[in-house]
Structure 1
């Protein structure tokens, strides 16, 4: 139900995959920036916090890809 709503709102699997890759880069960038300004423990927390987003976005991308595949399969008649 949620995946269908997200798809109807225009979100596609490619968008979720791009967000996942972006969150990996943002995780590294936030860790580097925080490491320069704060202590190592706090920098690690920031990097891990943002890094936790990537698996969520990848999972969402997979769910959307499955929905897109099923939706396109349902639109074409099968022999």
Structure 2
């Protein structure tokens, strides 16, 4: 998976107090969730028109890697 780098793996290890077994279980659950929720790698603006129209979410272009930048206001939900 191209989105996985050392920082993401480190985040899962820290979340489980450097327990490799627990971190790997959590990481695999995350990967399964990611494949189901975002199968194409990102969510297109056409899939969230209501959130954009109600000013809950703002699309801000892309970052240096080409990933979309989204600003979400949790208090609006």
TM-score by length of 1: 0.31
Larger RCO: 1 or 2 (CA < 8 Å, sep 6+)? 1
How does the TM-score come out when normalised to structure 2? 0.32
- The structure carrying a bigger strand percent of its residues is 2
More helix by share: 1
Pair member with larger Rg: 1
